């Protein structure tokens, strides 16, 4: 059942300010992030650095050739990124848009 609940059916949170990190509830991770406007992340902490990209980490797992994401990378409006993160923070306030983070179970 848990594998079927990995794309946000267990809740979500909205963030549009740069202050503080958005973290999921206990026992959960952020499984998807939808950017409502052009977004630069300050913090993007993977649950497991060996299998998910984050700020200053690249995907290692079974893949190869990925590049490190840093806080200068701009994610376009409307994109949804998927992964498993324990903390997310915006580089700057986005008071007219922001991000929606969707929760799923941790491993």
**Model pLDDT, residue 10:** 86
In order of their start, the domains of the chain are 2-105 (2.60.120)
Mean pLDDT by 10-residue block, N- to C-terminus, for the chain (107 residues)?
A: 61 96 95 97 88 69 67 95 94 97 92
**Model pLDDT, residue 90:** 97
DSSP-derived 3-state class of residue 4: helix
**Model pLDDT, residue 1:** 41
The Cα–Cα gap between 96 and 107 comes to 34
User: If you count them, how many residues does the chain have?
Assistant: 107
- Reported pTM: 0.86
Q: Edge to edge, what strands does the sheet with 28-35 contain?
A: 12-15, 99-105, 28-35, 80-90, 41-46
| Residue 38 in tokens | 């052009």
């Amino acid at each position: 059942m848990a594998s079927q609940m990995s794309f946000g059916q267990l809740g979500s949170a909205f963030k549009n300010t740069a202050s503080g990190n958005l973290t999921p509830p206990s026992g959960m991770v952020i499984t998807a992030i939808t950017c409502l406007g052009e977004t630069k992340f300050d913090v993007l902490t993977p649950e497991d650095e060996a299998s998910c990209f984050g700020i200053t980490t690249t995907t290692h797992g079974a893949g190869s050739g990925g590049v490190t994401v840093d806080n200068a990378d701009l994610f376009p409006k409307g994109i949804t990124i998927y992964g498993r993160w324990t903390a997310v923070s915006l580089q700057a306030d986005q008071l007219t848009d922001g991000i929606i983070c969707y929760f799923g179970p941790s491993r």
